[in-house]
Structure 1
């Protein structure tokens, strides 16, 4: 077993705009040199091996104009906070978070970044992230993200103002109780088996002789699987997207793309009067939204007509494994004292549809991508599956024994966080901690400051992770209490006893796969278990290889990190099944 640890090395928006796409060969992620030396490390991360001085000298007139506008309109530096000179040319040719990582290594864990009139504070330190997300959580809201997503998600948990969030969180959080999750594991298994059945039919259709493989875009297949699971688990609606198409499915994907588009587009042109009628994209989006709303309204109406109002405790004691409708919607409608109008229910459901679907599909995509490049780890995972399950089905209890599969899922989330940035806005003036190697007096920020918490930088920080770019699921098994970093408690699984998956508590905010603090994603266990079951059933039945090289898989970022043209793989039935 590897003895990879988290240690202190001694080194120095998510953005896909509709008019241009930040993309890069995926090889720039996992194949980086493994040195932690500051200069070598900093230069190796650059997609084209361009050093800082050469990049600065190549800036064109547009860059200079942008920087001039920044100085005039963004108010210069924030106290003693370092300032990164963001060149507009850095937006082209690769994801912005690569540049955010470069500037993190150059300027430190807290710095100001400005493009033209817009300025952001970029945070890449767990001590500062903990302050924003937990210790002073109610002094921050979702800011830019809430402004953009409100027309789509309304007052759902992600964009909701603090008061609405507090009310809905109290109602929704109890719905993700243990009995519900146990029933969902059964659902995850059933839906995943439908996907495997489809693969087997495709194999036999190709004249299957026990040796042939099939070529599939697994990213697309995972996307369909995740949509079916969300539909059944949240709405009690079977999209059936693994095997069919429908206007509702088309509308859901159209809305997902628009949510991604709005979360990453620099100018909110959709707020311009008449844009929804003049701009073809916006006309199509509102048509999609109408189709989904009609579907959700019908589901909400049906649920209310069969309402069986009762207390939370009794709701949680239902026999969810044998309940015909074990959906989240059923819980929310039946919960006594949680009466809410149809609009709010629609907003809650839409938020869970978009957030839940995107995350799971992306996690599975990158988990398989990483395993395909590490055949020994894939074999290790399959050996664990064979030992725990044999030819049996995953269950709620067996998930507890599938430790290595669970660690693969969280390591994929560490390397490819979904989303790579958390966005906040200061409601009041505040003093951010300096963080590791920052100003010991901290950094004063005024109310209205927009903040990017770079989860990507946190997860790949050379200060808190050993060999941060390596795929090592085993790293989460190693305790690390004493790193000599003032203000950081290290990595200690005992801080979250009974947790199936590493989290922000265990890592003291160096690992934020679902955020942290009060506004942490309420569906984190749902998503993690869903990913674990789907990956288990895939590896239980198939060996997977990338169709081309890792370099041929191009990365594009939007609401999540995904591929430009899909992740095409060769699937072959396992020959060494138990």
Structure 2
């Protein structure tokens, strides 16, 4: 299944130049350097060129065969659209989204990527992204992404067919209302304080290391995010920050399998008997059973204590005093939203996996970036000191933590989660030409697979100043547009928004997608990230254990590290 292979290519591999390292944010600009410091870039390119020369002879035959297939089989269905011909060797060594960026600079904001018999349309333009995601959203579905995720998430919001999605979106979206989010701040705070207490205990108990400990913060953020999702979404305390249980092991097993399926060439798990014969698949279905049994019990308990009422009254509840303030409680109590337990389970599983990954990743990269910018970390700490003092985070205090919120979204700009959005056209359509594209647009046939490269959009030199630099303050500045069809960047365009979004940026910034199928939990994820980061910086000074260049990047569903984000932590004076 070529589409699955290309999904793997788009989201897998080791990062950095030549697929080895993810480097720190330097002062270089534009092009394909991805913010790599100049000296390191020269050394890395030398190593890359040497490696490439050694392998070139062995790979030429394979590449030539691939390109021959491309020329013979991919055809001209996409007309005048610029074409990037991918060779088999492009599939190895680094995530394809880096190559997608290079081809974007070479071929423009909309181009055809041809691999053998299959063509994909790669979109790196806000005008075209807006058209696909909002203006003509129901002419596209999730395509290959739904094929991969359906066995795990069933008919949850991400892989659901259009009819199921419309029905469930109407029910789930109201659950993330303002009073619920306000109540969730207490959950975010309590779970974050578990992590803080764990770090303080390690500092107290490890006298051999004096005033400093080394810790993999990516692992800690992963446990923290799991605890928050468990309590906030279905009222289950995983307690994963301090303990391990069969349910926690099963959740991580399922997360790993979801990533494995998104990063493997051939969907062997669909083969007859694979779920019984292949050990990995036997374990996966065993993990699913453990989680499903847990969710079934939680759903059963929620139904037994159901207090049915209208959605308006549910949104006016006093969630601060409600014993079970979870989203599951909201869904079960909503009058007229009756659904079988299987659908509820699919909804919860989707939010568990999608919500966990995003939060852990944004916290990881926020710390990675701040550790390389001590002045920005200090500025963030001073803001936290001024607003929180020694008190707890509240919904009102989050509103005042402006710089902290900007750090979170700037981290998502540089390391979007996920780096690609995948769509498939349900009928023939004409895409806009986009920036410097064909003014007549591009005709695409039904069944065309598209990659909206969020990574390219977020680092586009055509729509962002200094796109590879870590500058949280950029979101405060209005940017006028001289590009026809793009409205520029205006912080006032979305009044009352706590965080910059696709409306403010006119689809140049898509941390959670856009249009009707935008992620329903975006504010939940952003607020929990803000609270967790603020409380960490309130208590500790953080620096990387080694050079930023030692942090290796791998990607599956999200961009994360290969061996963890190892940091040195000290109590603040």
Q: Quote how far apart the aligned CAs of 1:87 are.
A: 1.4
Q: Secondary structure at the match of 2:382?
A: helix
CA RMSD, 1 decimal: 2.3
Match of 1:23 in 2: 15
Match of 1:445 in 2: 444
The CA distance in 2 between the partners of 1:15 and 1:338, in whole Å, is 37
Q: Quote how far apart the aligned CAs of 1:455 are.
A: 0.2
Q: How does 1:71-150 map to 2 (within 5 A)?
A: 71-76=71-76, 78-150=78-150
Q: Secondary structure at the match of 2:499?
A: coil
1:184 aligns with 2:170: no
Distance 1:213 1:428, change over 3 A: same
Match of 2:516 among 511, 515, 518: 518
Q: Secondary structure at the match of 1:425?
A: strand
Distance 1:446 1:542, change over 3 A: same
Match of 2:206 in 1: 206
Distance 1:193 1:216, change over 3 A: same
Distance 1:544 1:16, change over 3 A: farther
TM-score for the superposition, normalised by structure 1: 0.93
Match of 1:3 in 2: none
The CA distance in 2 between the partners of 1:269 and 1:376, in whole Å, is 49
Q: Quote how far apart the aligned CAs of 1:37 are.
A: 7.3
Q: Quote how far apart the aligned CAs of 1:263 are.
A: 1.9
Q: Secondary structure at the match of 2:282?
A: helix
Match of 1:341 in 2: 340
The CA distance in 1 between the partners of 2:473 and 2:116, in whole Å, is 43
Match of 1:34 among 2, 15, 28: 28
Q: Quote how far apart the aligned CAs of 1:40 are.
A: 12
Distance 1:233 1:39, change over 3 A: closer
Q: Quote how far apart the aligned CAs of 1:43 are.
A: 13
The CA distance in 2 between the partners of 1:522 and 1:40, in whole Å, is 30
Distance 1:16 1:105, change over 3 A: closer
The CA distance in 2 between the partners of 1:27 and 1:117, in whole Å, is 32
Task: Give structure 1 stretches of 5+ with no counterpart.
Answer: 1-12
1:58-82 CA-to-partner distances (Å, cap 9, x unmatched) read 7511111112222333224611001
1:524-563 CA-to-partner distances (Å, cap 9, x unmatched) read 0000000000000000000001001001100001000000
The CA distance in 2 between the partners of 1:110 and 1:42, in whole Å, is 26
Q: Quote how far apart the aligned CAs of 1:395 are.
A: 0.3
Match of 1:489 in 2: 487
The CA distance in 2 between the partners of 1:14 and 1:514, in whole Å, is 19
The CA distance in 2 between the partners of 1:171 and 1:39, in whole Å, is 44
Q: Which has the higher helix share?
A: 2
Distance 1:424 1:214, change over 3 A: same
The CA distance in 1 between the partners of 2:300 and 2:461, in whole Å, is 52
Distance 1:140 1:371, change over 3 A: same
Match of 2:331 in 1: 332
The CA distance in 2 between the partners of 1:399 and 1:173, in whole Å, is 22
Q: Quote how far apart the aligned CAs of 1:16 are.
A: 7.0
TM-score for the superposition, normalised by structure 2: 0.93
The CA distance in 2 between the partners of 1:543 and 1:105, in whole Å, is 39
How many residue pairs were aligned? Answer: 558
Match of 1:160 in 2: 160
Farther off after superposition, 273-282 or 136-145:
273-282
Match of 1:532 among 530, 533, 540: 530
Q: Secondary structure at the match of 2:393?
A: coil
1:479-531 CA-to-partner distances (Å, cap 9, x unmatched) read 112x3111100000111000000000000000000000000000000000000
Farther off after superposition, 38-47 or 176-185:
38-47
The answer to whether the Cα contact below 8 Å between 1:544 and 1:569 also exists between their aligned partners in 2 is: yes
Q: Secondary structure at the match of 2:386?
A: helix
1:438-473 CA-to-partner distances (Å, cap 9, x unmatched) read 111111000000000000000000000111110000
Match of 2:549 among 541, 548, 551: 551
The answer to whether the Cα contact below 8 Å between 1:370 and 1:471 also exists between their aligned partners in 2 is: yes
Q: Secondary structure at the match of 2:435?
A: coil
Match of 1:433 in 2: 432
The answer to whether the Cα contact below 8 Å between 2:22 and 2:552 also exists between their aligned partners in 1 is: no
Task: Give structure 2 stretches of 5+ with no counterpart.
Answer: 1-5
1:179-216 CA-to-partner distances (Å, cap 9, x unmatched) read 1000101110000001100111111001289x611110
Match of 2:274 in 1: 275
The CA distance in 2 between the partners of 1:204 and 1:28, in whole Å, is 33
Distance 1:288 1:456, change over 3 A: same
